[in-house]
């Protein structure tokens, strides 16, 4: 199907739910093409209308399989699902890793599912600067849920918390060490904790350990939160526990809306989006003017970062 690049036409088609138009619009927005800017501006009007669910956790926890199951669950309820798969390591290897995400890709041909992978291309940190633009396209497209999945080297929990509304932290019974070593960051940002692969031995212990660690967190000088992050056991391969997980995700969304916490999070997301925008536009412009000679001059100590930085910003 041919899709024009005309902004008005693209916007209209995206808002009508046209996947081909959304795909084109997303490319324009993500590539930071000048043509993407009017689109991004329009789609931003839909920001915050749809629950964004982040799936994070260590490698091997079964995040993709679980995401696939969640998609299946939402589809059984006729909800439209948008999926963004972010790959933090692609800065080096180039491509994105949807190929590894078989359980997600099973849904790729379902017209009620829109899937896109985003490479973080050389960014410092696990997120791509254009993730918010991509999210707003999916919001404008009329998705009922947006799932942001990190390929997950286990770090993304803090970053993802500035992007989504609800953070699912996925682990497994085999990851006892992981749970023990889990840093405060993960414990604090997880809104729902999932012990996946619940068919493995040690499920109850893992659930208990997590609940204990979470209770400890509450005790350690923190105010009791209105939302106490629940722990749910799932077996993504068989689908066990997935409906329960989806129920908790819905409950968290209701909590966010009722408590005012949702608006607080949306503000934080917007602040991050603004930070990304400024970074893209200023830093990249300035750094785009760095020459190989500039770098050589630093290596040979003819200049230093502060001196060179000021020069770049003045020009």
* # residues near a copy of itself by CB under 8 A: 78
By beta-carbon proximity to a copy of itself, the closer residue of 82 and 88 is 88
Residues 271-290 that bind a copy of itself (CB under 8 A): 271-279, 281-283, 286-287, 290
Cβ neighbours around 291 below 10 Å, total = 8
By beta-carbon proximity to a copy of itself, the closer residue of 62 and 230 is 62
By beta-carbon proximity to a copy of itself, the closer residue of 254 and 275 is 275
| Part in contact with a copy of itself (CB under 8 A); list of ranges 14-22, 42-50, 206-214, 248-256 | 42-50
Q: How far is the CB of 287 from a copy of itself (least distance, A)?
A: 6
The three state secondary structure string of the chain is CCCCCCHHHHHHHHHCCCHHHHHHHHHHHHCCCCCHHHHHHHHHHHCCCCEEEEEECCCCCCHHHHHHHHHHHHHHCCCCEEEEEEECCHHHHCCCCHHHCHHHHCCCCCCCEEEEEEECCCCCCCCCCCHHHHHHHHHHCCCCEEEEEECCCCCCHHHHCCCCCEEEEEECHHHHHHHHHCCHHHHHHCCEEEECCCCCCCHHHHHHHHHHHHHHHHHCCCCCCCCCCCEEECECCCCECHHHHHHHHHHHHHHHHHHCHHHHHHHHHHHHHHHHHHHHHHHHHHHHCCCHHHHHHHHCCCCCHHHHHHHHHHC
Contact flags string 56-95 toward a copy of itself, x per CB under 8 A: --xxx---------------------------xxxxxx--
Residues 147-186 that bind a copy of itself (CB under 8 A): 151, 153-159, 161-162, 174, 177-178, 180-186
- CA-CA distance, 176 to 300, in Å (whole number)? 49
Q: How far is the CB of 245 from a copy of itself (least distance, A)?
A: 22
For 249, the token pair is: 């995700």
Q: How far is the CB of 112 from a copy of itself (least distance, A)?
A: 27
Q: How far is the CB of 110 from a copy of itself (least distance, A)?
A: 26
Starting from the edge strand earliest in sequence, which strands make up the sheet with 113-119, in order? 113-119, 81-87, 145-150, 51-56, 166-171, 192-195, 231-233
- Burial class for 163, CB neighbours closer than 10 Å (0-12, 13-18, 19+): buried
By beta-carbon proximity to a copy of itself, the closer residue of 145 and 265 is 265
Residues 206-245 that bind a copy of itself (CB under 8 A): none
Residues 186-205 that bind a copy of itself (CB under 8 A): 186, 188-189
Q: How far is the CB of 21 from a copy of itself (least distance, A)?
A: 20
By beta-carbon proximity to a copy of itself, the closer residue of 243 and 286 is 286
By beta-carbon proximity to a copy of itself, the closer residue of 109 and 177 is 177
Residues 241-260 that bind a copy of itself (CB under 8 A): none
| Part in contact with a copy of itself (CB under 8 A); list of ranges 68-76, 78-86, 245-253, 269-277 | 269-277
Note whether 44 binds a copy of itself by CB under 8 A: yes
Note whether 32 binds a copy of itself by CB under 8 A: no
Which of 37, 144, 199, 261 is close enough to bind a copy of itself by CB under 8 A? 37
Note whether 132 binds a copy of itself by CB under 8 A: yes
């Amino acid at each position: 199907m041919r899709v024009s690049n005309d902004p008005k036409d693209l916007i209209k088609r995206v808002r009508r739910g046209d996947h081909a138009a959304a795909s084109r619009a997303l490319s324009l927005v993500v590539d930071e093409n000048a043509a993407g800017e009017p689109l991004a501006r329009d789609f931003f009007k839909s920001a915050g209308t749809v629950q964004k669910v982040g799936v994070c956790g260590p490698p091997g926890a079964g995040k993709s399989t679980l995401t696939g199951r969640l998609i299946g669950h939402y589809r059984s309820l006729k909800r439209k699902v948008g999926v963004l798969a972010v790959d933090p390591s692609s800065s080096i290897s180039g491509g994105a890793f949807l190929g590894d995400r078989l359980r997600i890709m099973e849904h790729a041909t379902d017209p009620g599912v829109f899937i896109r992978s985003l490479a973080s291309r050389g960014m410092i940190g696990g997120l791509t600067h254009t993730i918010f633009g991509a999210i707003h396209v999916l919001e404008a497209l009329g998705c009922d849920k947006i799932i942001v999945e990190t390929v997950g080297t286990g770090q993304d929990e803090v970053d993802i918390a500035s992007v989504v509304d609800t953070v699912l932290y996925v682990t497994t019974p085999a990851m006892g060490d992981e749970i023990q070593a889990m840093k405060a960051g993960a414990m604090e940002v997880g809104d729902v904790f999932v012990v996946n692969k619940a068919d493995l031995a040690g499920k109850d212990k893992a659930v208990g350990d997590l609940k204990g660690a979470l209770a400890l967190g509450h005790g350690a000088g923190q105010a009791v939160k209105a939302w106490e992050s629940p722990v749910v056991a799932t077996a993504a391969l068989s689908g066990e526990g997935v409906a329960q997980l989806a129920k908790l995700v819905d409950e968290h969304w209701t909590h966010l809306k009722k408590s005012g916490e949702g608006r607080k999070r949306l503000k934080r997301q917007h602040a991050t989006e603004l930070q990304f925008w400024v970074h893209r536009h200023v830093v990249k412009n300035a750094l785009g003017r760095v020459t190989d000679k500039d770098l050589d001059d630093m290596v040979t100590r003819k200049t230093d970062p502060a001196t060179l930085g000021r020069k770049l910003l003045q020009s």
